[in-house]
Amino acid sequence: MSEPARHSGLGAHRQSGRADDPAGRGPGTRARRAARRLAAACGAALTLFAAAAPATALPAGGNVRPAADSGVSAESPVVMTIESMTPQVAAPNGVVTITGHVTNAGKAALKDAHAAVRKPNSGKPLQRRNDLSLVAGRTVPTGQDGVELDSPQFALPPLGPGQSQPYTLGVAVNELGMSESGVYELAVDAWGATADNPRERALGIARTFLPYNPGGAAEAQPTRVTTLWPLVHAPVLAAQTYAENDQTVPVLRDDSLAAEFAPGGRLYELVDTGAKLNGLTWVVDPDLLDTAFAMTKPYRVQKPGADGKPAKEDNTFLGTGSAAATAWLDKLRAAVAKQGSQVVSLPYADPDLASIAHNGADLAGMGTALGKAATAGRLTVEGRLSVDTRSDVAWPYQGYLDQQIAGVAQQSGSGLVLVNGASMPEPDSMTYTPSAVRPIGNGQNAVVADETVSGLFQGDLGTPQAQTLAVQRFLAETYTITHEQPQNQRGLLVMPPRDLTVNTAKALASALSAASDKWLAPVKLDTLAQGPADQKATTAVPPATDYPTRARASELPAAALTSTDGIQHNLDMLMRVLTLPQRVRGPFSAAMVRSLSTEWRAEAPSGAAYRAGVAVYLNELIEAVRVPQKSAVTLSGDTGLLQVSVRNDLTQPVTNLKLVLTSTQPNRLKVKTEEQLVIPASASITLRFQAEAHNNGPVTMTAQLWTTGPNAEKYGDEQNFRVEVTSVTNGVLYVFAGAAVLLLLAALRFVRQRKRRAGQPHADGDQPVEGPAADAAREPAGDGTADDAADGTGAGAGGRPEDAADQDTTGDGRARTPRGSSADGRDRAASDEKVGP
């Protein structure tokens, strides 16, 4: 389409109007239009290539689904977008080029329509941040949006419902009528009629902001701006390791980081984009660095469903990201070493301070875990990146703060808290934006992010329209902040989300680059935090009742924190019995903190699966030291030895354990209560307990491992087994019968002695025996009774004679293996443990 064709017929569409006409139309003549065409010829020439672009129909039925606040209606059926603006800051005698799309979101076709730029209303800049909010909140076209310029204009082809047409408009800065430096509204509208309504009108409008910086005036003190650049990721390293060729190989729960570290991946692009900026504050999760370092060497990845299971060849596969992880770490080290940059180390694995404060502050292990995480975080970042780092900074979820969160942060050693401005809003009486730094009591300081500025970069700015609007609004807000009090230099914190996306990061970088060295001065967090606090700014930390409901709904529940606290308790118990605790302490301490990660808020099911997997695997290690299940044991005789085996399936010896054997009926079967033990790696030992039976029948015994030393506690599950006591009743009867015979003989002897003294013969004719023969007759025979047993010559101990020789343990508490038994104490020939003959 030629230049005359694009501008022809405009006189028929024009109606006389005022500057405040809602349609934004003003008076004009052919001469005036010609003059404006000449003045804007260089800008208009830029639109020629788009004039021939065909109208396209949108998918999904051809209908546009506009946003609820887009202002689209039967009267204004067009959706306008601004998708690029070059340059982002206007200067005198320049040309601003605007591109975007016109989309018919109505039910009737557009007729004789065109797109045009509106001249800012009154030619005066927007003076206050509130004025910016009012402009951004408008939906339908109004006279406050300025007056449509006669040139340049872009003639639109007939657009049916759902059809879209790209446009390009180049407007001379001088035509916009901007009288002084400042921020101006820049609007592009569509003007025309529709098939069902021939009245010409404004069919739709798009708005943005354009800073005008002509220079020459007294310069304002640039605002110091600190931008957080987060590098975080949901935990990937598992507690398990894989043994391969006498080496320990790390195991990952998935291989997602392989793509993220590669060019085009999120983490790669964040580092690549951030490396080009000055004065950046990198906020790094040390667990991510450990994972990247682990990936630089061969590593394994769990197959689906392998959470909590020991890593083996059949449930893992070889990872693919070693080269990408190596290159990414090298790129990151170079980026953070850039002069003027700073690295802030989050506590290891970025534990969720808000969830802990609200749902787990009373759990004993939480404070200890946070303290260890802070120390481990600093050491990890310094070791992996070879830079100094600041580790006393708390960043609660999305920066929301209350008194409980501040208390937990202080207990964990955080003297500086990064806060969302929504938690500490400024009083209505303030007419300017205060500096970000302020004291909040108890020796803590807060750096409060501007809610509006930071809010521009939440979520994914996945479209050119969203990116352009965010960048231009950022420029407008920061320009206005700087010029609220030109000689009062203040500090500003920009807080993007933890899961900063590539699109959003690039938009933020573009905005920072456009304003830096003009009205913004990028500085690191330390520089901002050391600045003076504004005495009029809010310093009161809100109570927990003011914490946002939506943020509270995504917190880690109390049950999850209790489960994690239990992991710490079980880990501490396991550490007491291991002889090489370092093999387990590091991986599980890290895994325990990973279970508390803030990143699980966005991945709640994955977080639950991770915590469950850690708990299951830890329980497997604990249960590797156990009392094997026993079947019934037979005790024949009044006394004997009960043999109980203890198995250690770990690859290291264990100590500081004792086995306690308890009878549920001590009146029937009494046992020695406990034995100390040390168990070699991958071995079993058998302990023998002296037993004394009083009655026949079954008795239930309980075997329970306990830790030794202070605060002893049960280790693992108890094992119950049955002891069958036999031969006790017959022995008792024999004793009773023998006693009766002895009593009878004693009575007869007494009678005979009385008769002898009386000189009377026995009734059976026998005479009393006197002398040594009589004494010999009265000596008891060596028949293995009580006297014999006392000196160890009999077998009345309830078993074979050799049992008595084997009933001790070694000096270190380890029981000797009985003769005729295997290493684990089991009588293989009888397929059960036996006591007695």
Rounded Cα distance, 399 and 421, in Å: 8
Mean pLDDT of 204-233: 90
CB 656 within 8 A of CB 707: yes
Mean pLDDT of 527-536: 94
Q: Is the pTM of this model over 0.85?
A: no
Mean pLDDT of 639-661: 91
pLDDT at 303 over 80: yes
Q: DSSP labels for 208-246? A: EEEEE----SPPPPPEEEEEEEEE-----EEEEEEEETT
pLDDT band for position 258 (cuts 50, 70, 90):
very high
Comparing 432-441, 527-536, 692-701, the range with the smallest average pLDDT is 692-701
pLDDT of residue 306: 85
pLDDT of residue 831: 24
Provide, rounded to the nearest whole percent, the portion of the chain with pLDDT above 70. 78
pLDDT at 187 over 60: yes
Tens-digit pLDDT profile for residues 333-344: 999 999 999 999
Buried b (16+ CB within 10 A) or exposed e, 122-143: eeebbeebeebeebeebeebbb
Residues whose CB is less than 8 angstroms from the CB of residue 783 and which lie 6 or more positions away in sequence, other chains included: none
pLDDT of residue 116: 97
Average pLDDT, the chain: 82
- Pick the residue with more confidence: 546 or 766? 546
CB 691 within 8 A of CB 662: no
pLDDT of residue 755: 60
pLDDT band for position 420 (cuts 50, 70, 90):
very high
pLDDT of residue 757: 56
pLDDT of residue 769: 34
Nearest alpha carbon to residue 271 among 231, 235, 234: 231
- Pick the residue with more confidence: 55 or 164? 164
SS3 204: strand
Top mean pLDDT of 223-232, 421-430, 737-746 is at 223-232
pLDDT at 279 over 80: yes
pLDDT at 6 over 80: no
> DSSP state, 595?
T
pLDDT at 242 over 70: yes
pLDDT at 477 over 60: yes
Instruction: Return the structure tokens found at 509.
Output: 């970088």
